[in-house]
């Protein structure tokens, strides 16, 4: 059958796929628009499968919070090239996914992909984008937090997203402090919130490294544990958020900065998602 240019353009407007792809989809499905959209999604699935082993270290990370600051979500939408990752339409798609997640109660990545947005489920839309762009595209990370005051931050042209949960109700001062903490997390990448949140395995590994370093320096066996414990304390200061030096004022820790801003203020939880 003959496929009109108007029909091809209509399908292109509906899907964003290329003109030739739209024409072929309509030809193969005898002008059935719904079947043509399914055809394009199947094409996207085939492209995705064929590129499954390709590196996809580019993309966009989006972190957003609800209007009452009680909930925050962050997502990572990956692609293969910097050109696509910086495209305004791609970033808008990532933000649409994040906003859908914020409005829903999805607890897992699979739940997230089953959410409906304009044009179908998120999983369907991803296939649409794969068919249109020809790159591996997927949501590979998803975090959701809730609390008294959730602060979000996006760093480095959508390369890092951070969520910070503060224990006190929102105020201008503590929200600003929360933003500073989120920037600290983006820059310093702490492995845990506080000393007690570091796993026993990590502590044991750091102790052993400390002993071996001291032994290599010729220190007596009797004091190796004491030296190693000192190195572990340094590790806590460098690697746990509340004990890190505050980057804007290294005369105090992040924990001290927070209590200086507001009595009892602290971080209850944080999430950090990064490209690459």
Residue range 1-58, pLDDT digits in tens: 678 888 888 877 776 677 777 888 888 888 888 888 888 777 766 655 666 666 778 9
**Distance separating alpha carbons of residues 175 and 168, to the nearest angstrom:** 10
Give the containing element (helix H, strand E) for 102. helix 88-103
Q: Under CATH, to which class is 5-50 assigned?
A: mainly alpha
**Residue 240 reports pLDDT greater than 90:** yes
**Distance separating alpha carbons of residues 194 and 192, to the nearest angstrom:** 6
Condensed to tens digits (0 to 9), the pLDDT of residues 176-227 reads: 999 999 999 999 999 999 999 999 999 999 999 999 999 999 999 999 999 9
CA 225 to chain centre: 39
Q: Which residues contact 160 (CB under 8 A, 6 or more apart)?
A: 61, 154, 186, 272, 273, 274, 275
Condensed to tens digits (0 to 9), the pLDDT of residues 75-102 reads: 999 999 999 999 999 999 999 999 999 9
β-bridge pairing 149-155 and 160-166: antiparallel
User: Tell me, which fold does domain 58-192+267-274 have in CATH?
Assistant: Tetrahydropterin Synthase; Chain A (3.30.479)
Distances (CA, A) of 229 to 25, 168, 171: 66, 34, 39
What region, left, alpha or beta, does residue 104 occupy, with left being phi > 0 and alpha being psi -120 to 50 degrees?
beta
pTM (2 d.p.): 0.81
For position 47, what pLDDT does the model report? 59
What's the token pair of residue 146?
């809730």
Are 151 and 175 within 8 A, CB to CB? Answer: yes
For position 50, what pLDDT does the model report? 61
Distances (CA, A) of 98 to 65, 141, 161, 172: 10, 11, 11, 25
β-bridge pairing 58-65 and 71-79: antiparallel
Environment class of 68 (CB within 10 Å of its CB; exposed 0-12, middle 13-18, buried 19+): exposed
**Distance separating alpha carbons of residues 111 and 107, to the nearest angstrom:** 7
Q: Domain spans of the chain?
A: 5-50, 58-192+267-274
């Amino acid at each position: 059958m003959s496929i009109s240019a108007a029909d091809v353009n209509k399908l292109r407007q509906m899907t964003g796929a290329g003109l030739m792809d739209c024409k072929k989809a309509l030809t193969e499905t005898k002008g059935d628009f719904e079947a043509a959209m399914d055809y394009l999604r199947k094409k996207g699935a085939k492209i995705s499968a064929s590129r499954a082993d390709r590196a996809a270290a580019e993309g966009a990370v989006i972190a957003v919070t609800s209007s009452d600051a009680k909930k925050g979500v962050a997502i990572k939408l990956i692609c293969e090239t910097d050109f696509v990752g910086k495209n305004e339409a791609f970033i808008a798609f990532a933000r649409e996914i994040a906003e859908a997640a914020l409005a829903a109660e999805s607890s897992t990545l699979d739940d997230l992909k089953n959410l409906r947005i304009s044009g179908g489920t998120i999983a369907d839309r991803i296939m649409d984008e794969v068919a249109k762009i020809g790159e591996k595209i997927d949501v590979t990370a998803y975090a959701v937090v809730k609390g008294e005051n959730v602060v979000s931050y996006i760093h480095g042209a959508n390369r890092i997203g951070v969520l910070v949960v503060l224990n006190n109700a929102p105020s201008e001062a503590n929200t600003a402090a929360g933003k500073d903490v989120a920037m600290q997390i983006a820059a310093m990448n702490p492995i845990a919130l506080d000393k007690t949140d570091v796993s026993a395995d990590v502590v044991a590994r750091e102790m052993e490294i400390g002993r071996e370093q001291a032994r290599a320096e010729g220190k007596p066996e009797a004091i190796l544990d004491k030296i190693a414990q000192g190195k572990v304390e340094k590790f806590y200061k460098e690697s746990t958020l509340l004990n890190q030096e505050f980057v804007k004022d290294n005369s105090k820790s992040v924990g001290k900065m927070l209590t200086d801003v507001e009595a009892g203020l602290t971080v209850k939880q944080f999430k950090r998602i990064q490209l690459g």
